[in-house]
Amino acid sequence: MTPLDSLAWSNRFATLGPEFFTELHAQGLPDPHWVAQSAACAELLGWPAGWASESGALQAFSGGATWPGMRPLASVYSGHQFGVWAGQLGDGRALWLGEVETPHGPQELQLKGGGMTPYSRRGDGRAVLRSSIREFLCSEAMAALGVPTTRALCITGSRLPVRRETVETAAIVTRVAPSFIRFGHFEHFAHHDQLEALRHLADFFIAHHAPECADAPEPAVALLRKVALQTADLVAHWQAVGFCHGVMNTDNMSMLGLTLDYGPFGFMDAFDPGHVCNHSDDRGRYAYARQPSVAFWNLHALAQALLPLLPVGTEAETEAATERLLGAVEAFRERFASQMLGRMRAKLGLATADDGDQQLADDFLKLMAASRADFTLSFRRLSRALTDAEPLRDLFIDRAALDAWLVRWRERAARETGVEARMLATNPAVVLRNHLAEGAIRAAQHGDFSEIDRLLKVLSRPFDEPVLPSDAALPPDWAQTLEVSCSS
């Protein structure tokens, strides 16, 4: 195989022009070391198992050197944060290295934590070991669950001190995706009336990532509809696995419908529709139950950014164009509802459709909420409740109400085949709970990276029962004190 330092890198994003980015090199980590690598992500790239031992790999992925063909740059974008226009943002601590051809098409690689850029907004441009481990593990865990996501190739670390709430050590996580273009890229050029740049960006994205939109009567409308449908699929999948993003700002929304920017995320333990995983979100804007409506709101912001690409010369033309874009956004509602019902049917073991399925699913969620039953364990134990419901009953306060619901569910399931197998392949045994990540973080902060590797292997097979029962157990009491915030 071709040595990795001889790979052919392409730089399609760099062809957009200097108004889209600033070229600069990373500020390399001093005396770097490997923290973790993902074999699954390396396989996605078509790289050999021992890629990390190749000459120059550690320096390349700790920001100290570049391989021939890499063209590091930080892109500019804007966005709405917590529902308020925040103005210019951009890659404040991320550097795009370029893209490589893979068995799965072109993939971009990006360093997160490589130092200050022109878009750092008084920040230091660094990432800490704690947050890098969380992003690395969750990126790969989500991929194993089948949730659309950016991937994580590796983490490098250093003893370089970085100040957050306390002094921590620096790290860099290498992220992988077909594209890191966000809603905020379009918002930036629309807000600044850079209409040629906005059109150039739309043409670029359609050509490389949505070619089926090119021949539509209005490519921008077709693109918005495509993004709305992909976003609906994504959020339905989040809801179905109990995942809370924590900071669904428009600058954190992927144009490809990928989970992007793992910061204050969390998988729910006790089910609470109003659960807020981000300690910084004091108004609960990004609570679990609000994620679909926030995604819908964000799509309206994207529609506003795309409006100048349509005929808007007169007031009547503007109104008509707005209606067409809003119609594209509306595609989100029906798609999300159908995707969510389909995923809930699968979680209940149902392969066919019945008019009462929505109510059956809603009633189980209400029972879970009333008892604050563990989200992941409730569905996993339900998977075996056709023959043994006692482990499930242990999670609920009102067992009589659960028993009554189980009668209805069993009657419905009796009309299906392969129910238990379907549910065990849909309801994971293991997700990246905060306390599992915290265990790996604490060990790594003392120089022991073995728990990251062990946990990564467990998370790569989320539907298998783990060797250690504690990986799939209720969280320990001390986990209730864990908090994640925008610094996470």
- Rounded to whole angstroms, the Cα distance separating 348 from 298 reads 31
What's the half-sphere exposure (Cβ side, CA atoms, 13 Å) at 403?
6
> Is-catalytic flag, 251?
yes
- What does the angle CA 311 – CA 316 – CA 322 come to, to the nearest 5 degrees? 60
Residues 201 and 182: their CA atoms lie apart, in Å, by 11
State the Cα–Cα distance between residues 268 and 480, nearest whole angstrom.
12
Q: What count of other Cβ atoms lies within 10 Å of the Cβ of residue 432?
A: 26
Rounded CA-CA distance 358/306 in Å is: 35
How many other C-beta atoms lie within 10 A of the C-beta of residue 363? 16
Which is catalytic among the residues 91, 233, 251, 261?
Answer: 251
Determine the Cα–Cα distance for residues 132 and 154; give it in Å rounded to an integer.
9
Cα angle: 212, vertex 217, 221; to 5 degrees: 70
Contacts of 397 (CB under 8 A, 6+ apart): 370, 371
Longest dimension (CA), the chain: 67
Task: Give yes or no for a contact between 22 and 74, defined as CB atoms under 8 angstroms apart.
Answer: yes
How far out from the chain centre does Cα 141 lie? 10
Task: State the Cα–Cα distance between residues 172 and 166, nearest whole angstrom.
Answer: 18
State how far the Cα of 7 lies from the Cα of 110, in Å rounded to an integer. 16
DSSP, res 217 = S
Strand partners, 244: 266
Residue 146 identity (one-letter amino acid):
G
- Active-site positions read 251
